[in-house]
Each structure stands twice: as structure tokens, then as C-alpha cells.
């Protein structure tokens, strides 16, 4: 199986022994408490699941700046985005050695992790602006990732973490949420060697379905990991439970049995385009995948990134040998009226725009809200029905 990023073995930080975990939860009740941001809580969950191997915890300012600037920590570890615990005010934590991080996304705000406090540092305006600009390619406060990154505060609390909870992801998505070490175990149990990962924060339409098939065939993969984001999204995005239903209906009805793993991970979407695509590659490698599909406008939002910036970053900025996982570069895919099947648009140079069925997200939402059926060439009927019920319920 493919090795984890920059490590011989996965390094999940979640305490799996129930007795030890219970003792640490009891200890956490005696420690100074910090209610962290949703992003920091999700970072802790990803650290716990081994997705962020080999990181031991939250980065300090030097590492965050180095990663933002050159995708390397001060010690030289390749990493694409800062993994930080940032707060507005840490005055009450000065001099504390261990703190309990409380989860803002669960009722009662239970402890998600215990953190050892190594440093408490405050970034300057210039440093915040530079990190924002390098990671998101913009400082526009309307960008959802920029807003979240700058809205959490600018004081970084760095140090190793011991993770005690999977937040709301495990109880709310018991069939879907998986840690990196659980996915590795499933892949190993299936005897898969080559695994192609498909990242999604949206329901999968016919084009996505066919793209998975193309990649599976082209790289000679044993199986496909459909890996959906289960964390926070921007307003207007479709909830995870609806996406989950759509994906399960599609896989059950249209993929050969035993060729697809349907899983999800607990992370808040960054909408960081190219940098987030590289992060996706890192933690898919940690999950045991050998290939990652990177398509048009991967992890993008609005018009902040070029359509294929998330592909070119692997050629221009990721050093040779920094990652073991390979990138499957995909063009936009759509149903060809001429050929009667889904194709990559780059492979159909004789086509005009009207030769494709390729609906915009706005058009899809409009049709579903009105109860109109999506074209069967665009969406499988089972998925379209699930989406129609959702949109009609939100419009009621």
C-alpha cells in the first residue's frame, strides 16, 4: 500500500483506547477551556483521523507563514495550507501548559481535544494579509475561505494535540464518516493496490459518474474512493445528508458491486482552489489512495481561480517527489448529443457548445425548485428525485 505523506506509518492523534480516552476527558474538565472556531475543531478531527500525518498538532506562526509562502514548514516539511488554531483573545491562556479545546459545533460544547501550549503568538496585519493572499490567491472578504480564515482571530496557539472526539461527524454520518486509518484498513481488506479518489462537495451527476469510470479505467485502478466533504460549506451548497443519499443511489444502481467505497471526512471547506487541491492530495495519500482526480475548478468558488489552476499547481509549485500520490487531470465532462455519451470536452474538438448538455448550478436549482425533471443525460433519475424533494422542501 502507498506510504503516508512524509512518514512510514500513519500517525492518527485520536485516542482509540476507551479507558485512556475517558481518563483524558476527565482531566480535560480540570483544564482551562477554549472554545475554538469551527475550522480549528475540524482541523483537530482531521489530525485525529490521521489525515494530516505527519503533523503532531497546530502550527506556530513561523510554520504557518512558511507554509503559506512556500508550502514548507520551518523544518522543511512539504505542506500546502496552514493548519492552525487561531483565536481573537488568548489572554486567559498565558502561562497555561495544557488546555481543553471545546467544540463549537456540538450541543454542550464538549471537548474535542487537549492541546499542549507551546507558543502563543499574534500575527501582524501584514502577516495575515500575506498568508491570506498566498493561500487563497485573494484578500477579498467576500471569498468564503478568506472570511473564515480572517474571522477566527489572529492569535495562534501552537502545540501538539491529543484528540478525544470525532465531533458531530461520527454520530451524524455513521455509514459514511471514516478516518484515514479506517479507509486504509478497508482498502487493505479488499486487496486493492491502486485506488483512485474522487473529491466531492456536491451531488454527483452523470458527468462525475463517468469521470470516475474514466479514471478507474485509465490508471488501471482496483477501486474508487468517493470521498465527500461532511463539514461546513458556504450558504447555498447542498447539505451533506442529501449529497450522501444521491451518491449512494448512484453507486448502488450504476456501478459494479465491490468497486466503490463511499466515505466522508470531517473538514470545513476552504474554497482555496489550487492550494486546497494539493491538501486534498496529501490527505488522500494518507488515506491510502494512489491517484486523485483533479478536475476543472477543483475546490474553487466564484471566479477567483482559473479553470485549471488546481492542476497546474502540481506541475509548477509542488516539488518533484514531494508527494507519492499521482494526479489524474480531468477536463470538464458533459453529455455529447452527437456521440450519445459523456465525454471530456477536450476530447471532442468538433463539438460546439450546443452539442453538449451541461447545465449550470443555477439552472439546476431553478428546475428542481419548480419540480421539473432534470434531463436523464445530465442526472440519474434516482439522484434527480432526491434533489427535487430537497429543493422543494426548502422552497416551501
Active site residues: 201-202
Rounded to a whole number of angstroms, the distance between the first and last alpha carbons of the chain is 49
Give ∠ CA 324-328-333 in degrees, rounded to 5: 160
Q: How far is CA 366 from the centre of its chain?
A: 27
Q: By the 8 A CB rule, do 253 and 380 touch?
A: yes
Cis peptide bond upstream of 6, omega within 30: no
Q: By the 8 A CB rule, do 49 and 150 touch?
A: no
Q: How would you label 216-231 residue by residue, b for 16+ Cβ within 10 Å and e otherwise?
A: beebebbbbbbbbbbb
Helix (H, G, I), strand (E, B) or coil at 60: coil
Residue 259, exposed/middle/buried by CB under 10 A (0-12, 13-18, 19+)? middle
The torsion angle over the Cα atoms of residues 239, 244, 249 and 252, rounded to 10 degrees, is 170
Show the cell assigned to 312.
497546474
In eight-state DSSP terms, residue 11 is: -
- Distances in Å between the Cα of 157 and the Cα atoms of 25, 78, 202, 346 are 20, 21, 33, 47
Distance of alpha carbon 223 from alpha carbon 239, whole angstroms: 26
Distance of alpha carbon 338 from alpha carbon 348, whole angstroms: 10
Q: How far is CA 55 from the centre of its chain?
A: 17
Helix (H, G, I), strand (E, B) or coil at 246: helix
Show the cell assigned to 226.
468517493
Question: Going along the chain, which residue ranges are E strands?
Answer: 33-35, 57-58, 86-87, 98-102, 111-116, 119-122, 155-163, 195-200, 223-229, 260-265, 291-294, 326-329, 333-336, 341-344, 356-357
Amino acid at each position: 500500500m502507498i506510504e503516508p505523506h512524509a512518514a512510514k506509518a500513519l500517525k492518527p492523534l485520536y485516542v482509540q483506547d476507551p479507558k485512556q480516552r475517558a481518563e483524558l476527558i476527565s482531566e480535560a474538565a480540570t483544564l482551562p477551556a477554549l472554545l475554538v472556531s469551527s475550522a480549528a475543531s475540524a482541523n483537530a478531527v482531521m489530525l485525529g483521523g490521521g489525515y494530516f500525518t505527519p503533523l503532531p498538532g497546530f502550527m506556530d506562526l513561523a510554520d504557518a507563514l512558511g507554509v503559506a509562502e512556500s508550502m514548507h514548514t520551518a523544518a522543511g516539511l512539504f505542506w500546502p495550507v496552514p493548519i492552525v488554531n487561531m483565536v481573537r483573545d488568548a489572554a486567559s491562556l498565558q502561562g497555561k501548559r495544557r488546555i481543553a479545546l471545546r467544540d463549537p459545533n456540538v450541543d454542550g460544547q464538549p471537548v474535542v481535544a487537549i492541546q499542549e501550549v507551546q507558543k502563543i503568538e499574534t500575527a501582524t496585519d501584514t502577516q495575515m494579509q500575506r498568508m491570506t493572499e498566498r493561500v487563497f490567491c485573494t484578500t477579498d472578504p467576500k471569498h468564503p475561505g478568506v472570511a473564515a480564515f480572517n474571522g477566527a482571530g489572529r492569535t495562534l496557539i501552537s502545540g501538539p494535540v491529543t484528540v478525544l472526539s470525532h465531533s458531530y461527524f461520527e454520530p451524524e454520518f455513521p455509514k459514511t464518516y471514516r478516518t484515514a486509518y479506517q479507509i486504509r484498513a478497508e482498502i487493505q481488506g479488499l486487496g486493492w493496490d491502486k485506488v483512485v479518489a474522487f473529491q466531492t462537495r456536491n451531488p454527483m451527476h452523470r458527468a462525475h459518474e463517468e469521470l470516475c469510470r474514466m479514471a478507474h479505467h485509465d490508471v488501471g485502478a482496483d477501486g474508487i474512493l468517493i470521498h465527500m466533504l461532511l463539514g461546513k460549506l458556504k450558504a447555498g451548497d447542498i447539505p451533506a445528508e442529501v449529497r450522501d443519499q444521491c451518491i449512494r443511489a448512484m453507486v448502488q444502481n450504476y456501478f459494479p458491486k465491490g468497486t466503490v467505497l463511499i466515505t466522508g471526512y470531517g473538514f470545513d471547506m476552504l474554497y482555496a482552489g489550487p492550494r486546497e487541491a494539493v491538501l486534498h492530495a496529501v490527505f488522500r495519500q494518507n488515506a491510502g489512495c494512489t491517484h486523485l482526480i483533479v478536475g476543472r475548478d477543483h475546490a474553487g468558488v466564484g471566479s477567483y481561480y482559473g479553470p485549471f489552476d488546481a492542476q497546474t499547481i502540481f506541475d509548477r509549485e509542488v516539488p518533484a517527489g514531494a508527494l507519492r500520490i499521482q494526479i489524474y487531470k480531468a477536463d470538464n465532462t458533459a453529455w455529447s448529443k452527437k456521440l450519445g455519451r459523456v465525454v471530456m470536452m477536450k476530447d471532442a474538438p468538433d463539438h460546439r457548445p450546443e452539442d453538449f448538455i451541461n447545465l449550470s448550478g443555477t439552472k439546476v436549482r431553478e428546475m428542481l425548485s419548480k419540480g421539473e425533471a432534470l434531463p436523464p443525460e445530465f442526472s440519474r433519475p434516482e439522484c434527480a428525485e432526491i434533489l427535487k424533494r430537497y429543493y422543494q422542501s426548502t422552497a416551501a
